[in-house]
A and B are shown apart, each in its own frame.
Chain A
Amino acid sequence: MAAELGASVALRDLEKSYDRVAAVAGVSLDIRSGEFLTLLGPSGSGKTTTLMMIAGFETPTGGDIAIDGTSVVGMPPYRRNIGMVFQNYALFPHLTVAENIGFPLKQRGVSKEDRARLVGEALELVHLPGYGGRYPRQLSGGQQQRVALARAIVFKPRLLLMDEPLGALDKQLRENLQLEMRRLHADLGITFIYVTHDQEEALTMSDRIAVMNDGLVAQVGRPEDLYDRPSNRFVASFIGESNFLPAIVRALEDNDVVVAECQGALIRAVCPSRPAAGDKVMLTTRPERLRFTDGAWNSSTPQNRLSVTVTEAVFAGERCRYMLQAGDGTAVVLKEPSSAAIRRRAVGEQAEIAWSVADTILV
């Protein structure tokens, strides 16, 4: 069997402390060959430190990093053969675009002719043919980022690390480059590890996302898993918008369903772990998955229902956003696709809302 194009990366109890303060506090993660994995988290969550340890710029204070099954802890960065794209591009200002892209090839002793050919191919790949003779300062931010990308893949590494590569670009450009990176990932077939604090970026680009918080992985999974089945409160609130309903466990049903009492109503929630009856828990739902019951609402799936008062109604073009209040004052957000056929609610109106049990998660 031919060797796989992408490297696999295994992090085992990885730790990094500065003056006894842990930046990364025990991260274990298996990144598969050819995968696009995103480390997503707020600043200070340890995602960049984790990336820097994989690249070899930070030495772990504990744990192990293995690339294709071989530990690389202690191997200097220049022997790891990993492509890396930095936040502010880190292009060499005194070298031309072609010299920048040729830099890794030169270090590997590639002949001048081969270098010119490979640099040309790399420039084609990032849609910048003919830009070889320019200096980085003569390029726009987006172009600089493409050059940085070309430089990081021209030597055909099996692993590409990216540290918030689109952070400094405007929204439009960012979205274009996101698509391009996805395409590049598909074309190259190598493993991408991508660091960002932008959840939308993570959701659109990644095969899997590892959400990080306080130096630990809060949850790993496909984007839809994280969105539909957050395993804890942090993930539920960090990715997308969530409602949180405090509740008390009353009974356990089959199929991982829990019956909990909330605002005097019984609510069913999905829960992979098995809490005990009487436990105080938090239930979470997504605002766009709630509906008013007296609308055109028909569903054969099991429902949860709750009585609320409308406290705020905002029309936002494609959708209406309602702030609701449950009996004990808990605030609930509901987002409804806007339609001239749906009656809009007024502030102060009493209403009943409903949503699927499958969209109710105990966290």
Chain B
Amino acid sequence: MIGRVLPTTVVALILLFLALPIVVVMVVSFSSATYLTFPPPAFSLKWYEAYFGNADWLRPTWLSLWVAAAVVVLSTVLGTLAALGIARLPRALRIIATGLILSPLIVPVIVVAIGIYYAFSRYGLVGSPFGLVLAHTCLAVPFVVTSVSASLAGIDPRLEQAALSLGATPMGTFNQVTLPLIRPGVLVGALFAFITSFDELVVALFLSGSRAITLPRRMWDDLRFQIDPTIAAVSTLTIVLTVILMACAHYLRKRAEQTRMSTSSVAP
């Protein structure tokens, strides 16, 4: 009995520890109080009204969405192409290339941010949405490459050979065989790219300037200069969006695993 109860309790406590702050934020977002307090004296939707009625919140939200959308397109195309290229490299080169592409994840983000800030300031890319798109793409590409590479590794290379032997050109092989098979991996990569950009603060702090304010940057400013439960409402909305996207990613991964199983296994 104890052998089963103890681990269950430990896991439950860990999950509680992780989830509790999120739950508190969500509860506070429905508070009627004008200051951050827990538990809330009464419930209301006024902080959601405050958010949706204020251009100072909506403008950064739209900018974040646009930037994230652009990052998704750029990083998915670049990351997928990179993964395809890497898969065809000899082993030694493959490790080097993967390491280089993953480096934005390895180097502390503040270092990356400072580097990008100095480089971009020379070309007037600070305070421009385009600069944010480029910087976030650097951070998002590793996720796409990782996800697409995993999908590619699960594909029998003979499928591509079969397509070529049947008369499909390399481009036709990619469109009709490779892409449909790695599509779940590409979509998962795209979702992570979106989340990476949409949640990103450190680089945005350096690159937003005074004109290209993203939602995380706006939240940061809000926390520094005034604290009211609007921030809790915004956080809750962001969390909900992220959870939905993560659920999609999870579903796609499951499906990818099934496809992989049906390509590699042979029924007797």
User: When A90-B158, A92-B177 are in contact, do A84 and B165 touch as well, CB less than 8 Å?
Assistant: yes
- For the complex of A and B, list the 4 residue pairs with the smallest distance between their C-beta atoms, beginning with the closest: A104-B166, A107-B167, A90-B162, A137-B262
Q: Which of B167, B169, B181 contacts A94 (CB 8 A)?
A: B181
In the assembled complex, B121 has its CB within 8 A of some CB on chain A: no
Do A140 and B156 have beta carbons less than 8 Å apart? no
Q: Can you give 19 A-B contacts (C-beta < 8 A)?
A: A57-B165, A76-B164, A78-B173, A84-B162, A86-B162, A87-B158, A88-B158, A90-B158, A103-B166, A103-B176, A107-B167, A108-B167, A135-B262, A136-B262, A140-B267, A140-B268, A141-B268, A168-B268, A170-B268
In the assembled complex, A275 has its CB within 8 A of some CB on chain B: no
In the assembled complex, A89 has its CB within 8 A of some CB on chain B: yes
- A103–B158 CA distance with the chains assembled, in angstroms: 15
In the assembled complex, B81 has its CB within 8 A of some CB on chain A: no
Interface SS of chain A = loop
In this complex, what residue of B is CB-closest to A52? B161
- A152–B162 CA distance with the chains assembled, in angstroms: 9
- A155–B165 CA distance with the chains assembled, in angstroms: 11
Do A82 and B165 have beta carbons less than 8 Å apart? yes
Chain A residues closer than 8 Å to B268, beta-carbon distance: 140-141, 168-170
Interface range on chain B (Cβ under 8 Å from partner): 20 to 34
In this complex, what residue of B is CB-closest to A140? B267
User: When A90-B156, A141-B268 are in contact, do A103 and B163 touch as well, CB less than 8 Å?
Assistant: yes
- A167–B162 CA distance with the chains assembled, in angstroms: 18
User: When A136-B262, A137-B262 are in contact, do A77 and B162 touch as well, CB less than 8 Å?
Assistant: no
In the assembled complex, B172 has its CB within 8 A of some CB on chain A: yes
CB distance from A327 to the nearest CB of B (A): 50
A75-112 interface code vs B (CB 8 A; 1 in, 0 out): 01110111110111111111000000001100110000
CB distance from A305 to the nearest CB of B (A): 50
CB distance from A148 to the nearest CB of B (A): 8
Do A144 and B176 have beta carbons less than 8 Å apart? no
Tally of contact residues, A, Cβ under 8 A: 37
Do A78 and B165 have beta carbons less than 8 Å apart? yes
- A93–B159 CA distance with the chains assembled, in angstroms: 9
CB distance from A196 to the nearest CB of B (A): 17
Q: Which of B161, B168, B177, B267 contacts A86 (CB 8 A)?
A: B161
Chain B residues closer than 8 Å to A314, beta-carbon distance: none
Q: Which residues of B contact A (CB under 8 A)?
A: 156, 158-159, 161-170, 172-173, 176-177, 180-181, 259, 262-263, 266-268
CB distance from B78 to the nearest CB of A (A): 25
User: When A77-B161, A86-B158, A93-B259 are in contact, do A168 and B266 touch as well, CB less than 8 Å?
Assistant: yes
In the assembled complex, A151 has its CB within 8 A of some CB on chain B: yes
Chain A residues closer than 8 Å to B165, beta-carbon distance: 55-57, 77-78, 80, 82-84, 152
- If A92-B177, A107-B166, A169-B268 are given as contacts, then 14 extra A-B residue pairs at C-beta distance below 8 Å, sorted by A number, are A56-B165, A57-B165, A76-B164, A78-B164, A78-B167, A78-B168, A78-B173, A82-B165, A84-B161, A84-B166, A90-B162, A93-B181, A93-B262, A107-B172
A270-300 interface code vs B (CB 8 A; 1 in, 0 out): 0000000000000000000000000000000
CB distance from A58 to the nearest CB of B (A): 10
- A76–B165 CA distance with the chains assembled, in angstroms: 9
Within 8 A of B (CB), among A96-140: 103-104, 107-108, 135-137, 139-140
- A107–B266 CA distance with the chains assembled, in angstroms: 26
Do B172 and A88 have beta carbons less than 8 Å apart? no
- A13–B164 CA distance with the chains assembled, in angstroms: 26
Do A139 and B267 have beta carbons less than 8 Å apart? yes
